Structure 1
Amino acid sequence: MNRTTGDDGGHGEGGGRDRDEAGRARSARPRDGLGRPLPYGAEGVPRQPEGVVRGPDETLREAQRLLDAGMPFHAHEVFEDAWKSGPEAERDLWQGLAQLAVGLTHAARGNTAGGARLLRRGANRLEGATPGPDGAYGIDVGGLVAWAQELAERIEGAGGGGRVVDAAAEAPRLCPRLA
């Protein structure tokens, strides 16, 4: 990553903004398991590489591994790669899964309102998704929709107000055949 040196409101060390080789803004700050930025120099969780093209089974296995490890933010990045590199007809499937992962991320960070909203948005997108050539690759779409709706109700119900959930304990099962 290259860094600019101009003042942009304090992003990065010395006020510079993190940039990639093409000059696009990219945060090089380390992040924790829920994707929250840490101070420069802190030891963070390794990031998921961007733009990785995986097959559906590999995508599901990697995302499930990350969800089980309590890293839904990183699982979202895996799903994001799938929707960007996969067939247009499957975009809603992968975006819906990414939204579920981001919803769980927000819930684990204590943002119950945002978490519930994203869980419901992801569930709605999954319900309207066009299955891939192998159905939905064995993804338990109905189970995920029910899981997302139940978790959204639970985090809003128990007083909401920043109730933090354990991301690993709440991780859904994406695809029973890959278990």
Structure 2
Amino acid sequence: MSGTSEARQGGGRDRDTAGRARNARPRDGLGRPLPYGADGVERQPEGVVRGPEETVAEAQTLLEAGKPFHAHEVFEDAWKSGPEDERALWRGLAQLAVGLTHAARGNTTGGARLLRRGAGAVEEWASETGRGRPYGMDLAELSAWARELAGVVEREGKAISATGRAPRLRGRVD
């Protein structure tokens, strides 16, 4: 949470110490808000500048833990703080993670749409840059994973397990 403490201000909106609106409600592993006072999972800090290798490693750990919403936040930080020529890559990866989030929450239409949009974005970035394996990630395999999962989500029409469907960012482990 950006290293700031958050509080409800006089029954109004939650605000951080700088006065910016920030929802302080606890969240579940898929980023859904829980009632105040409920036990939630630790939130992913926002605005953290990481190197690309650290971004990929942290996002993979979160994906494997069934926290694609949190992985999306890690990718979003990279997209906002990284070099201009890589922003489309990180944005596409964030779309893949949030697509998995929606599919796990049961939003099959939005989940499938975001999975396909993210797949298209990383494919386009790889095509434009000629880089199909940036930071060890196999973008062709990630795109295939996303498109396949989008089809499964649409066919099944129900929430899926985020943990059981997490991608391997750096390819399959045999």
Question: For residues 50 and 131 of structure 1, do their structure 2 counterparts lie closer, same or farther at Cα, with a shift above 3 Å needed?
Answer: farther
1:108-152 CA-partner distances (Å, limit 9, x unpaired) = 000000000110110111111155989511111000100100110
TM (norm. structure 2) is: 0.89
Q: Which runs of 5+ in 1 are unaligned?
A: 6-13
* Aligned twin of 1:87: 83
Q: Among 122, 125, 134, which residue is 1:126 paired with?
A: 122
Secondary structure at the residue paired with 1:52?
A: coil
Indicate yes or no: 2:51 matched with 1:55: yes
Q: Distance in 2 between matches of 1:146 and 1:76?
A: 19
Q: Distance in 2 between matches of 1:152 and 1:119?
A: 6
* Aligned twin of 2:8: 3
Q: Among 139, 150, 153, which residue is 2:148 paired with?
A: 150
* Aligned twin of 2:169: 174
Question: For residues 22 and 121 of structure 1, do their structure 2 counterparts lie closer, same or farther at Cα, with a shift above 3 Å needed?
Answer: same
Q: Among 94, 112, 116, which residue is 1:98 paired with?
A: 94
Contact map agreement 2:99 2:115 (CA 8 A) in 1: yes
CA displacement at 1:24 relative to structure 2: 2.0
Contact map agreement 2:14 2:24 (CA 8 A) in 1: yes
Q: Structure 1 vs Structure 2: percent identity of aligned residues?
A: 69
CA displacement at 1:175 relative to structure 2: 1.1
